[in-house]
């Protein structure tokens, strides 16, 4: 989330509109908290997506136990 996406106006613009400094500071603080909340929500969604992808992958993986003497492919580099 970038600051311009929540439209955080500058102090100069707010002074021209007639807001006091305390009101401006409170509005700015609220906007910054909104950015934090949206960032945490995005991180949470990312974790949920990653766990869903992992679970889908793990469903198809078969556990195999190899013992000495079994034939297996060897990576040649």
pTM of the predicted protein model: 0.51
Tally of domains in the chain: 1
Q: How far apart are CA 45 and CA 14, in angstroms?
A: 34
Tell me, yes or no, whether 74 lies in a domain.
no
Residue 35 lies in a domain: yes
Instruction: Flag whether 50 is in a domain.
Output: yes
Residue with tokens 């990312």: 46
Burial class (CB in 10 A: 0-12, 13-18, 19+), 43: exposed
Length of the chain: 77
pLDDT reported for residue 11: 65
- How far is it, in rounded angstroms, from Cα 35 to Cα 77? 48
Name the residue range of residue 51's domain.
15-58
pLDDT digits (tens, 9 = 90+) for 10-62: 667 666 777 677 777 788 888 889 999 999 999 999 999 999 999 999 999 88
Are the C-beta atoms of 31 and 2 separated by less than 8 Å? Answer: no
């Amino acid at each position: 989330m970038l600051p311009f996406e929540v439209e955080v106006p500058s102090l100069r613009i707010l002074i021209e509109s007639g807001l006091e400094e305390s009101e401006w500071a409170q509005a700015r603080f609220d906007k910054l908290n909104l950015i934090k909340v949206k960032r945490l929500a995005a991180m949470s969604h990312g974790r949920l997506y990653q766990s869903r992808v992992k679970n889908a992958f793990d469903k198809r993986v078969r556990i195999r136990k190899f013992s000495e003497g079994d034939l297996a492919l060897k990576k040649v580099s």
